[in-house]
Each structure stands twice: as C-alpha cells, then as structure tokens.
Structure 1
C-alpha cells in the first residue's frame, strides 16, 4: 500500500471560535490530499476518462490542533469493490493521531456519467 503525505502548518484561517482547527478544515484537508494523491499517480488519459465522487465519510476526532502546530496528513487506498474504493486519511501532530477519516468513493466514467468498476490499471497504481 502506497502512503502519500503532506505537511501543513496551522494558520489563523484554519481556526474556529474555540481557537482550534475547525472540523470542516480537517475534512477539506482529507479531500485535498485524496485529490493530490490521485493526481500524483495517474496519467492524463485516466484523468480524462474518470473521476471520483464521495459516497460516504466516517470521521473520528481524537485530539485538537492549534495555531502554529505542524500537521502531517497521510492517506492510502484500503481496497476496491466494483466501482467503490475506501480511502483512509490520518491526520497527525507529531506521533499523535488527531483525526481519522474513512471515505467510500465511487468511480465515475466521464463520458457516461455512470459508475464504473475500478479498472486493474488504476488499482495497481495505489497498491
């Protein structure tokens, strides 16, 4: 399984009225890293043929992050079933797990706008 990661420094724009990272910011980070991971592995042809849509999110908030914290966001694809894929995103401060997001995505064929079984050529890119 290939793990993709990014580093983020918490800024004032990430904070809510309690002066910790807003829950919606964690979700945006999860969506951003998912897209970045996808784009880092695929070629232009795949990008022209397919896109992903979220089917569901399961989020577990463990700890908080604050202004100036150095955050590491990691993601990997857990598996495939037909047109569906589970992606895990884990957000850390140092070794401490702050948030874990499990998202079920569905692959869409751009031409037909319908669900498409995840082809082997895509699956192997994320193993």
Structure 2
C-alpha cells in the first residue's frame, strides 16, 4: 500500500530525564504522521465528512534516540475491514538505519457529524493504495 514518509531531527524538548526521546513524544509523532498522511492523500471533501479515532496502540521500543538524531518516519495502512484499519509506523535512525520504534495502531473511521463508525469505502481505501 502507498505509504508516507517524513524526516525529523530530535530536539531538546523531545527528551526525557535520561536524555532519550520521551515515550510520549513517540506517541505524538505516531499520531502526527498518521494525520499528515490522511491530510496529504484525502480530498478536502472526504476530510470534511470523516475523521479517524484511535482504538489501540501497540508500540515496540527497539532502540533509543538522542538529541540531534535524524529520524525517518514511515507509515502505511496494513489492513482494513469494516470501519477499522491497522496503520503501521516505523521510526528509523536516518544515518545508521537502526530501527527505533515500530507501532501498530487500530483506527476507526467516524462520520464527522454523527460521530458514528462508518464502513471504510472503496474510495477511501483507494487513497492509500
């Protein structure tokens, strides 16, 4: 499936008391790249009609990132069924290619006005292929 990639550099505000990237920051980055992927691929009309909410996050922390580390974030939709999809996000040190974090997040598509789950249409699936 068609993915989305972005680069970032670890900043002082990203660090915890051990001078590693804070776990909360990784969760924020997972959410941010997921949202950016949606906003980049989906039309304004689709974005005005639907929103996504997180049902579950599963995160594996493989290696620590520190100040000034360059990180490549990649995301893609692994599967979808009914109103749910599973999105994978991987974060890799851009220079060493060391896997830092891998997450699998289950998202649910909601109709923006009713906030009710809605089946992921073929039109929306096609956005991510």
TM-score normalised by the chain length of structure 2: 0.96
**Where in structure 2 are the equivalents of 1:9-48 lying within 5 Å?**
9-48=9-48
Q: CA deviation at 1:79?
A: 1.1
| Superposed structure 1 runs of 4+ greater than 4 Å apart | none
**From 110, 113, 117, the counterpart of 2:112:** 110
Q: CA deviation at 1:84?
A: 0.2
Counterpart in the other structure of 2:78? 78
SS of 1:121's partner is helix
Query: Quick one: distance in 2 between partners of 1:68 and 1:47?
Result: 34
Aligned residues: 127
* CA displacement, residues 67-122 of structure 1 (integer Å, 9 cap, x when unaligned): 01000010001111100000000000031110001000000001221000001100
Query: Quick one: distance in 2 between partners of 1:75 and 1:17?
Result: 28
Unaligned stretches of 5+ residues in structure 2: none
TM-score normalised by the chain length of structure 1: 0.98
Q: CA deviation at 1:47?
A: 0.7
Unaligned stretches of 5+ residues in structure 1: none
SS of 1:21's partner is coil
